[in-house]
């Protein structure tokens, strides 16, 4: 028996195609509206939470400047680079904030733009320095380094950060845009539906895997100057190195995240007391978010990217940060039976004059 075919007139076929296209456009439009509504709702909830906190402090009475001692007046800024285990580390800060009595605030910029307008820079600096109700505070967000000194601030916040091998970071970000991760698996990603592997993208010379996409960690540390975002700028890399050494309290690497957390707990216990144990017992399983469907690139793909001058500069900066981190760690910890231990205080005072009676 022949197959039964239902033939539609050409006009009806065309109408059906048009109707389907209109329906898809309508659905996409509705999805976009829902996402915008969700974003507005999140901002409204955040504003409400801030008002509640401010009202609570107002009811408790005005908080005088003299009541803020050195530790209570402390502010940490973690201007996190995307896909460097930043969410994993931030979640530890959230888990500890109630116990260690500090506030955690997410810096949510429009479209995750890391460069603030001049007027937003002024607002941000003012918030950070004068918002007593939020002190001590831990601020985190995808924002490039901002020099508080240029705004006349006397006490600058403490900057920390984590960076990652540049190719590994780009591969992770490439698949994250397509498949998301296990942290919010239901969230629709910008490149969802694109099944092309990273290897295929590089072989075809695609824009999402181009060497220019490697240029991110340097400008995040360089800051808000225009030259920082000039891809391949030697000045930007030198400035990023200068800031890492002179403006950052500690910069860790994704590959040695536990050691980074251990050093922070030893140096800044006001915020990170209990962080190492939390990471070891819970964090490694629950906090580390993993990009879904990620496929490791081939040696040929890696070799092709490594021919780029942009990779050479980003990798030089990564190696510079890694060397600095390992130097700090070597002078702060000792290894015993395969485990690292923080050194006790290794200095004391003597020959104190004049002698008290």
Q: Supply angle C-alpha 317, 321, 325, rounded to 5.
A: 170
Report yes or no: 160 and 247 within 8 Å, Cβ to Cβ: no
Catalytic residue among 57, 140, 287, 331: 140
Catalytic residue among 142, 224, 287, 331: 142
- Rounded to whole angstroms, the Cα distance separating 34 from 249 reads 41
The tokens describing 327, both together, are: 């130097």
Residue 83: burial class (beta carbons within 10 Å; 0-12, 13-18, 19+)? buried
Specify which residues 336 forms β-bridges with. 339
Phi, psi of 130 (to 5 degrees): -110, -5
- Rounded to whole angstroms, the Cα distance separating 31 from 344 reads 56
* Sequential DSSP letters for 93-146: HHHHHHHHT-EEEE---GGG-SS--HHHHHHHHHHHHH-GGG-SEEEE-S----
* 140 a catalytic residue: yes
Q: Residues with catalytic annotation?
A: 140, 142
């Amino acid at each position: 028996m022949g197959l039964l075919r239902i033939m539609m007139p050409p006009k009806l076929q065309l109408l059906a195609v048009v109707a389907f296209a209109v329906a898809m456009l309508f659905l996409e439009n509705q999805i976009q509206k829902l996402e915008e509504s969700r974003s507005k709702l999140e901002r409204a909830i955040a504003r409400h939470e801030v008002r509640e906190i401010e009202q609570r402090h107002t009811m408790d009475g005005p908080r005088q400047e003299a009541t803020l001692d050195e530790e209570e007046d402390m502010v940490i800024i973690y201007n996190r680079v995307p896909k460097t285990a930043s969410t994993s580390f931030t979640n530890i800060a959230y888990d500890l904030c109630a116990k260690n009595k500090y506030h955690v605030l997410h810096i949510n910029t429009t479209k995750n733009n890391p460069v603030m307008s001049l007027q937003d820079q002024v607002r941000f600096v003012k918030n950070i320095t004068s918002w007593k109700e939020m002190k001590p505070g831990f601020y985190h967000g995808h924002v490039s380094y901002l020099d508080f000194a240029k705004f006349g601030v006397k006490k600058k916040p403490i900057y920390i950060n984590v960076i990652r091998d540049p190719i590994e970071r780009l591969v992770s970000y490439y698949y994250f845009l397509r498949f998301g991760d296990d942290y919010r698996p239901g969230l629709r990603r910008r490149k969802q539906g694109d099944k092309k592997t990273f290897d295929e993208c590089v072989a075809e010379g695609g824009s999402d895997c181009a060497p220019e996409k490697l240029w991110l960690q340097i400008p995040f540390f360089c800051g808000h100057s225009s030259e920082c975002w000039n891809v391949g700028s030697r000045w930007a890399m030198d400035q990023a190195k200068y800031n890492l050494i002179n403006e950052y309290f500690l910069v860790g690497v994704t590959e040695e995240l536990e050691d980074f957390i251990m050093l922070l707990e030893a140096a800044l216990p006001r915020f990170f007391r209990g962080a190492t144990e939390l990471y070891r017992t819970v964090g490694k399983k629950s906090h580390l978010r993993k990009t879904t469907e990620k496929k490791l690139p081939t040696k040929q793909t890696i070799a092709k990217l490594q021919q780029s001058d942009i990779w050479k500069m980003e990798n030089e900066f990564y190696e510079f940060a890694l060397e600095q981190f390992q130097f700090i760690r070597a002078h702060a910890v000792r290894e015993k039976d395969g485990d690292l231990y923080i050194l006790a205080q290794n200095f004391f005072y003597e020959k104190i004059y004049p002698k008290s009676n």
